[in-house]
Structure 1
Amino acid sequence: MEKKRLVSPVVVSLLIIALIELVGMIGDPFRVESGGASIYWLFVETFILFLLPAAPIIYGWITRDRPGSILVGAIPIMGFILLLNFNYFYPSPDLKRIVEVVAYGVGLSAVAGLEGYFASKRIIPVAILLGIVWFFIFFTGID
């Protein structure tokens, strides 16, 4: 029974990662000649940016499944961070960069997992506050 309860959050998490990667692959036609992005593409990227911390809150609020909402918070972010940095790992792995990326991803995943946990317990103000903390950590790690 326990394995069946964990299938749904893992599938939701993988769908979020697939959505982000699919939108990233589709985005090339929306580039304008000057090398920037079109207004439409900026809206899509902003939506995805808000989707990452909002997904565990929404999932936890709807299902009240504590372990599942923690997984929905942790898996997509860690998967997204690792896929985004795959080029740094492939030709010649730099240990310093790998440690930085994993530490950054674990921090974001932990905060998002806590968001889902508190949302599943119906403590929404704490979940929203953790979402704001997630944004601060996210913007701090952009280099």
Structure 2
Amino acid sequence: MKKLILTALVLFSAFSCSSKEEEPDPFETVVDYDQMTREYEEFKEANPEEKPKENPAVRGLALIESSDCLSCHTTNSKLIGPSYEDVAHKYTESDIDYLADKIIDGGKGVWGDIPMTAHPGVNKENARQMVKYILSLKK
């Protein structure tokens, strides 16, 4: 009986001390914006009849939908950050570069105390396309 208990303790110790594979963080989103842009350009070349895709606002929506933006923002209601419609009402076309920089660099204080996460992997042109979509929601 003592051998059985001792064996069980040794096995338990071995299993409890073994390293576990670390599970990926479910909140970590990695988006390859350059790859997304290449895929968009390939799609555009393969489907020249798709004229609505030429609209920067449509491209901006595609970029937003494939990023982590929708985890904090929605189109018409505040989530963690302001709604896109609220942003559209506050800013104009002259603010495109400012807002694109906010997407890339992040920020805090304009809409409250919760900071906006920086997105350094987004290139300036893609950020501008996202902003153009957001500003297109102005009614």
Higher helix share: 1
Normalization by structure 1: what TM-score? 0.30
Normalization by structure 2: what TM-score? 0.31
Q: Over alpha carbons, which structure has the higher Rg? A: 2
